[in-house]
Amino acid sequence: MINFERVSKIYQKNWVALDDVTFEIQKGEFVFLTGPTGAGKSTVLKLIYKEEEPTKGTIKVMNYHLRHLKKNEIPQLRRKIGVIFQDFKLLHDRTVEENIAFALEVTDTPPRDIKKRVLDVLTYLRLSHKKFKFPYQLSGGEQQKVSIARALVRDPYILLADEPTGNLDIKSSQEILDILLDINYQGTTILMASHNLLLVRKAKKRIISLLNGRIVQE
């Protein structure tokens, strides 16, 4: 599903974010990406959805050879990948329902399907009663759930989570992890970057540890 072959990423001023990284993630796997800040976790995620280009090496995601992917083909790749972040990235002038629908509206989903799909995902995440609320009226955990809903509503094959529990308390973090595990159980491949080792160990899933841009433990 995701294949990194001797991938390096060097930013400006010779800052090495990733150094000769090779790994493979199978379809339906749940993998944690751990390591301290600056280890290269976010870079790995950004390379997968082609926000960044590798300096060296090859990356294959699903059937896409990312090096050969043209600029106008990137949207097609991203429509199959969901991404969630530590800071949720919600639109504060739109309700929960509008935030989720937005992801469908801008990707050519027929209007008659949008309402139903939004409602389905809200029901699944037990957020239906909050659909007319604005993000600032929600707790951090609820906001992250909305962000998951927005990623999930497009039925992605892969879900990338960049420190999704970074801003949450223990209880909310556990709740988010449980949701992600359930999503994975239903077949979605998940790669989650986190430095919350306690949470990661509890989940008993495969772990890739990064340090200074290199894989130190698998």
Partner 1 sequence: MALGIGVREGIRTIVRNSSLFILSLLVVAISFFLLSLFALLTINLYSLVKGLEGKIEIIAFLDEHADVEMLHSNILRITGVSEVIYVSSETALKELQEEMGETKEVLRVFEDNPLPASLRIKLAPEFRNSKGLKELSEKITLLKGVKETIYGGELVDQLKGVTKIITYFDAGLLMIITLAVIFVTFQTIKLTIFARSTEIEIMKLVGAEDSLISIPFIFQGMIQGLLGGFIAFVLLLITAKVGSAFFSIPYFPKLFLLVGNLFFGMIFGIIGSAIALRRFLK
Residue among 208, 183, 213 nearest 194 (CA): 208
Residue among 73, 55, 52 nearest 63 (CA): 73
Is residue 145 a contact residue for partner 1 (CB under 8 A)?
A: no
Is residue 154 a contact residue for partner 1 (CB under 8 A)?
A: yes
Query: d(Cα 69, Cα 83) in Å, to the nearest integer?
Result: 19
The smaller minimum CB distance to partner 1, of residues 39 and 83, is found at 83
| Ordered strands of the 15-25 beta sheet | 15-25, 2-11, 56-61, 64-65
Is residue 83 a contact residue for partner 1 (CB under 8 A)?
A: yes
The smaller minimum CB distance to partner 1, of residues 30 and 85, is found at 85
Using CB under 8 A as the binding criterion, the count of chain residues that bind partner 1 stands at 23
The smaller minimum CB distance to partner 1, of residues 105 and 169, is found at 105
What the block records as the tokens of 74 is: 């990137």
The smaller minimum CB distance to partner 1, of residues 79 and 206, is found at 79
Minimum distance of partner 1 from residue 158's CB (angstroms): 13
Helices (H), the chain: 41-48, 74-78, 96-105, 111-124, 140-152, 170-185, 197-203
Query: d(Cα 108, Cα 128) in Å, to the nearest integer?
Result: 24
Minimum distance of partner 1 from residue 8's CB (angstroms): 23
Query: d(Cα 143, Cα 174) in Å, to the nearest integer?
Result: 15
Site string for partner 1, 99-128 (x = CB under 8 A): ---xx-xxxx--x-----------------
Binders in 13-72 for partner 1, by CB under 8 A = 49, 71-72
Minimum distance of partner 1 from residue 50's CB (angstroms): 10
Rounded-to-10 torsion of CA 63, 65, 70, 74: 50
Q: Which amino acid is at 135?
A: P
Q: Select the residue interacting with partner 1 from 18, 77, 168, 190 (CB under 8 A).
A: 77
Is residue 217 a contact residue for partner 1 (CB under 8 A)?
A: no
Count of residues making up the chain: 218
Is residue 79 a contact residue for partner 1 (CB under 8 A)?
A: yes
Specify the pairing of strand 56-61 against strand 64-65.
antiparallel
**Positions that interact with partner 1 (CB under 8 A):** 49, 71-72, 74-80, 83, 89, 91, 93, 102-103, 105-108, 111, 150, 154
